[in-house]
Amino acid sequence: MAPTKTSEHRAATHVVRPEKVHQVEAFRSRLLDAAAAILTDYRGLNVGELSQLRARLREVGADLKVVKNTLFQRAADSLGREELAPFLQGPTAVVFAAADPVAPARVLVEFVRQMRKLEIKGGWVEGRVLTAEGIRRLADLPPRPQLLAAAAGSLRSPLAGLVGALAGLPRALLSAVEQIRRAREQAA
């Protein structure tokens, strides 16, 4: 199909605006650095409620940014995260979690429960795309430090058993030597 005069004119006059390039690069950078990016539909929230949500998210090391879908999609596509496209319909705000994705997910789920206005669309969490249901399940997990402590405890238990068994070997050897000595004394 040959390009129309109108499309040729648009292509010739289309100028990439520096502020849009800057926004795409900023989103790209945020996506690279974030442990999680949770997409929400913020329709129905007034400025005060949005400020309240932002304050709660800051407390757990996350922040919320209202995004333009096309610019955010370009940033996501440039990182190979095309799977986020279905979540980029309608008004979108993205919660970027720097380290622990569980705490911001918990804040969002609790906020939805209280306000009944915000809708979780889905997100990208530590290399995986999650649906809204996946984000809700993530919110049910214990906090990261608690999970790490449980994992360390699980690793420590078998090691403690091994140390106990190894410490018991010299005792058993001494006991065997002592029994042999007694048997020889009785035989003599």
| DSSP output for 175-187 | HHHHHHHHHHHHH
Longest dimension (CA), the chain: 117
Neighbour-count burial of 80, counting CB atoms closer than 10 A to its CB (0-12 exposed, 13-18 middle, 19+ buried): exposed
The sheet carrying 62-67 orders its strands as 62-67, 92-97, 36-41, 119-125, 128-131
Confidence (pTM): 0.67
Whole-number pLDDT of residue 177? 75
Whole-number pLDDT of residue 18? 85
The answer for residues whose C-beta is within 8 angstroms of residue 76's C-beta and 6 or more apart is 27, 31, 82, 84, 85, 124
Whole-number pLDDT of residue 117? 82
β-pairing verdict for 119-125 and 128-131: antiparallel
Nearest to 36 by CA among 105, 108, 117, 106: 105
169-181 residue pLDDT tens: 677 667 777 788 8
Q: Give the whole-angstrom CA distance, residue 51 versus residue 110.
A: 15
Helix (H, G, I), strand (E, B) or coil at 99: coil
Tens digit of each residue's pLDDT, the chain (188 residues): 555 555 555 555 566 788 888 899 999 988 888 889 999 998 888 999 999 999 999 999 999 999 999 999 999 998 888 888 999 999 999 999 988 888 899 999 999 998 888 899 999 988 889 899 999 998 887 766 666 676 676 666 666 666 666 666 677 667 777 788 888 888 87
Residue 170 to residues 44, 163, 165, Cα–Cα distance (Å): 71, 12, 10
Nearest to 138 by CA among 62, 48, 76: 62
Q: What is the DSSP string of 1-22?
A: -PPPHHHHHHHHH----HHHHH
